[in-house]
Amino acid sequence: MAFDPSTNISPWPRYQASIFLSPCNKWIPDPHHCRKQHCWVTTTLPGYMSTNSHTDEELMCYVYQKIKSGRVSMDSEPQHSRGLRCISLPIRYDKPYRQGDSVILEQAITAAAWWVDRIRARKLTVDQRMVFDAPWPCTVRADDLLEVPVSWKKPSYTGWL
């Protein structure tokens, strides 16, 4: 579903801003947290991490390693949008509550690696202000969101229905 910037009508509640920004300073959309078709795999960030204390690549590599080791929580909504020091990645359920935690974890590992690759390719950045400093709720306008280009080959289970 494409956004209609001419009307600036948000497709909410389908989408919300993710923590990722495109080079043109538009947020990559995440599925909106009120939609229950997603499990949010959340990595808590340590106290020594703060805005600009680490590169975007270092942050996402940390998230990748934590997911790979299984030291995450699985939640019904993103925890970074609650003002907590963490990063949550959405994984779409195949059918509501059908796939097991191990499958979700494997998909989250692949998703985190995909985000690291996009950061390394300078296709996007982490909005560290949103991760560490933004109050809840962090609202953005529909025309501040940018769909992921098909050429990026984003894993299908990280998107929306």
For the chain, which residues score pLDDT lower than 70?
1-14, 32-36, 81, 83, 95-98, 135-140, 149-151, 157, 159-161
pLDDT at 81: 65
User: Can you read off the two tokens belonging to residue 28?
Assistant: 């990559």
Euclidean distance between CA atoms 49 and 4, whole angstroms = 37
User: Can you read off the two tokens belonging to residue 99?
Assistant: 């796939």
Helix, strand or coil, per DSSP, at residue 137: coil
Where are the chain's structural domains? 35-158
- The sign one gets for the Cα dihedral 9, 118, 61, 100 is positive
pLDDT at 100: 83
Q: What is the pTM of this model?
A: 0.80
pLDDT at 56: 97
pLDDT at 145: 77
